[in-house]
């Protein structure tokens, strides 16, 4: 798997994933790194990775398909490898709705039925390399309540704190709904947030929703990164 990259740091050594390596081979004379930062991000104790709703129903072919939603799987796997190599904690939220959930059109909601608990569509994307130790957080699991945020009506904040998390690396599906609301709550809870821009995709019900969501998250203090920004 290669990362799209135009500018890299010359002295970059091959990374724990193959991003820096492949980029270095493809662009041996590039001198400047990604414009978001001058320095690599060094994973450290206190970091946690959160995969938001990377579920079959949000992938192409699913009940609420996110355009290019499948692109987040290989992207996440690179972050998962980096976190795994350092034994840092991984969290995965999932939409876990009952069949009569209030967000479904039949109940007056705006969405087609999706992520019905314990059905195939609610399973994590095949190929997402979640470690056995990943903490799975189910949300919007009763008919009456919806939550786009992984923090809404769950013990996510408590579990993150119990794991010593201070800095959250957040990506997933969809940028303009569950990622946006999870990031806003994370910031409100006092966590630092790094946005995995290469591991998230938007529904874009209205064109530009994803871009606006990303701008809003950055405005609120989240820092956009991609995998090449991780220190080797
Ligand atoms: C989501 C719409 C409805 C999401 C969940 O995960 O972004 N979007 N339910
Ligand atoms: Zn939902």
Number of domains into which the chain is organized? 1
Reduced to 3 states (helix: H, G, I; strand: E, B; else coil), residue 192 is: strand
Print the domain residue range for 145.
Answer: 5-229
Helices marked H in 100-208: 156-162, 180-188
Q: Name the 3-class secondary structure at 152.
A: coil
Helix %, strand %, coil % of the chain (to 5): 30, 20, 50
pLDDT tens digits for the chain (232 residues)? 444 444 444 334 444 444 444 444 444 444 455 444 468 999 999 999 999 999 999 999 999 999 999 999 999 999 999 999 999 999 999 999 999 999 999 999 999 999 999 999 999 999 999 999 999 999 999 999 999 999 999 999 999 999 999 999 999 999 999 999 999 999 999 999 999 999 999 999 999 999 999 999 999 999 999 999 999 9
User: Which CATH number belongs to the domain containing residue 128 in this structure?
Assistant: 3.40.50.850
Tens digit of each residue's pLDDT (9 = 90 or more) over 177-203: 999 999 999 999 999 999 999 999 999
Q: Which ligand is nearest to the CA of 148?
A: 1
- Report the DSSP beta bridge partners of residue 201: 173
Distance CA 195, CA 193 (A): 6
Distance 103 CA to ligand 2 centre (A): 7
Query: Which ligand lies nearest the alpha carbon of 180?
Result: 1
Question: Secondary structure of 7-28 in the HEC alphabet?
Answer: CCCCCCCCCCCCHHHHHHHHCC
Q: What is the pLDDT of residues 19-58, one digit of tens each?
A: 444 444 444 444 455 444 468 999 999 999 999 999 999 9
Q: Which sign does the torsion angle of CA 28, 33, 39, 45 carry?
A: negative
Tokens of 180: 């946006």
What distances in angstroms separate CA 185 from CA 82, 91, 137, 150, one per listed residue?
Answer: 25, 15, 15, 8
Reading the block at residue 105, the tokens are: 């059109």
Q: Looking at the CA of residue 52, tell me the nearest atom of ligand 1.
A: 6
What residues act catalytically? 53, 139, 178
Name every residue whose Cβ is closer than 8 Å to that of residue 155 and which is 6 or more positions away in sequence. Answer: 137
Any residues with Cβ below 6 Å from ligand 1, and which?
53, 64, 95, 103, 111, 148, 173-174, 177-178
């Amino acid at each position: 798997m290669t990362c799209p990259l135009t500018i890299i740091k010359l002295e970059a050594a091959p990374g724990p994933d193959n991003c820096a390596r492949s980029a270095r081979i493809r662009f041996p004379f590039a001198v400047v790194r990604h414009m978001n930062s001058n320095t690599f991000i060094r994973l450290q104790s206190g970091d946690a990775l959160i995969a938001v709703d990377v579920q079959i129903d949000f992938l192409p072919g699913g009940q609420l398909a996110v355009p290019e939603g499948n692109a987040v799987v290989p992207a996440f796997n690179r972050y998962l490898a980096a976190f795994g190599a350092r034994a840092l904690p991984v969290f995965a939220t999932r939409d876990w709705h009952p069949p009569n959930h209030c967000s479904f059109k039949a109940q007056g909601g705006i969405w087609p039925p999706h992520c019905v608990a314990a059905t195939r569509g609610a399973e994590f994307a095949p190929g997402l390399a979640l470690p056995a130790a990943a903490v799975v957080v189910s949300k919007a699991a009763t008919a009456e309540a919806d939550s786009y945020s992984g923090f809404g009506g769950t013990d996510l904040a408590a579990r993150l704190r119990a794991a010593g998390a201070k800095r959250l690396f957040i990506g997933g599906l969809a940028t303009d709904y569950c990622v946006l609301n999870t990031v806003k709550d994370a910031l409100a809870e006092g966590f630092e947030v790094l946005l995995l821009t290469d591991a998230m995709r938007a529904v874009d019900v209205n064109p530009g929703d994803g871009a606006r969501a990303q701008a809003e998250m950055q405005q609120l203090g989240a820092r956009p990164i991609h995998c090449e920004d991780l220190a080797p």
